[in-house]
A and B are shown apart, each in its own frame.
Chain A
Amino acid sequence: MRVFICVAVLLASIAAPVSLTAHDHWFDAADLYPQVGVGINLEVCGGHYYPESSFAVKEKVLGKIYVTGPAGTGELSTSKGDKRHTAAVILYSPGVHIFRLAMKRPGMEDPLYELKAIMVVGDGEDDPDRYQTGVGLEIVPFAPVSGTVPGGDLPVHVMLDGKPVECEITVIPAEGRTAHYRAGTEEPTRIKTGKPGKYLVTASVGKRGCSLVFQVGRPGGEK
């Protein structure tokens, strides 16, 4: 009987993570608090097991990566690898930079998946008023991400074209347990953080999915 149970548990542990979750897509970078003028590799990742990227989406699906910072908005070009697309970028303006990317197949009207990452460069102000793009489906924090301490929480709304929407939110830390929340349209949802490191937040409304990557704790402490 014990062997029987062991086999059943083993099968369940192999099967459950794959069958119960859809593919996520996210931005990744070694550090989301880079210094001014330092080269960064921004990666477009996808898979089931954040932070490990399992595949690179096709170029025709990828779309353009936009970065909006204090100096304005620009486009990034990418190179495709086996398991990720990579964009090399150097940011010269201190402050909040928002990276965003909408994935959709040619012929579709609405994006299938929208990626977003918040990067705070150098000693610039981490102003949460800069977090919202107002375009498409996005997860918007309402407090400075750099001020989020390990174990603290971060209030967020899921917004579609600038308006809060109701949906499920999933929070996947690079280290730690996945948590699920229900986002409403009134009060922001307070997502709990644990260890320092990067966090992936995902949400979906209908067939559209979105993700946000932010980092708890600056390497080297608070600026």
Chain B
Amino acid sequence: MNRWRTTALALMFVAGLTIPGAVMAHGTECRVVQDGLMIEASYDDGSPMSYCDVSVFRPGSPDSAFVTGTTSEDGRFSFVARAEGMWKIEVDDGMGHLAVMDVEVGPEGATGGQPSARQGRILETVTGVSVIFGLLGLYYIFRRKH
């Protein structure tokens, strides 16, 4: 009888040690998935927007960020876009530069993205075209006077 009692107590003791651990602990696992959308943000000179704040907005929710984070050293950030529609991504360097991108996500995934606030490049183009027009105009005025 004593042997049974000792065995039962030992079993209860072991169970008391192990059961709470088994119930309360959480196993963790990492795996690589071929899913998601990766963006790459850079400045006009091609240098990456490293360690910048990223805000991702779902289609139809322009005021509340769906996910936020930070770009990597090479200016990259990835997330999974579950809903179809136009997603908006903002990359803010905190020093006055903001890159904004709209990405159309369809049944097959992202079908294209276009920068919606890449002002530097647009303005450079406008400047170049304007300078050419200006020089042409000056040339014609000069020619007309002579």
Query: Which residues on A are within 8 Å of B, measured CB to CB?
Result: 1, 4-5, 7-9, 11-12, 15-16, 18-20, 23, 25, 46-47, 54-55, 57-58, 60-61, 103, 105-108, 112-113, 207
The reply to whether the CB of B79 lies closer than 8 angstroms to some CB of chain A is no
The reply to whether the CB of B124 lies closer than 8 angstroms to some CB of chain A is yes
CB <8 Å contact, B95 and A103: yes
Residues A46 and B137 in contact in the complex (CB < 8 Å), given A15-B127, A107-B51: no
CB <8 Å contact, A23 and B138: no
For A207, give its contact among B47, B123, B129, B138 (CB under 8 Å): B47
Q: Which residues of B contact A47 (CB under 8 A)?
A: 96
CB <8 Å contact, B131 and A105: no
Nearest chain B residue, comparing its CB with the CB of A18: B123
Q: How many A-B residue pairs have CB under 8 A?
A: 79
CA distance A19 to B119 in the complex (A): 8
Residues A105 and B73 in contact in the complex (CB < 8 Å), given A5-B137, A8-B133, A18-B119: no
Near A by CB (< 8 A), chain B positions 94-111 give: 94-97
CB <8 Å contact, A5 and B123: no
For B96, give its contact among A4, A9, A23 (CB under 8 Å): A23
The reply to whether the CB of B52 lies closer than 8 angstroms to some CB of chain A is yes
CA distance A103 to B140 in the complex (A): 50
Q: Which residues of A contact B47 (CB under 8 A)?
A: 207
The residue in A5, A15, A108, A112 that gathers the most chain B C-beta atoms within 10 A of its C-beta is A15
CB <8 Å contact, B70 and A107: yes
CA distance A37 to B5 in the complex (A): 85
Q: Which residues of A contact B119 (CB under 8 A)?
A: 18
Q: Which residues of A contact B51 (CB under 8 A)?
A: 105-108
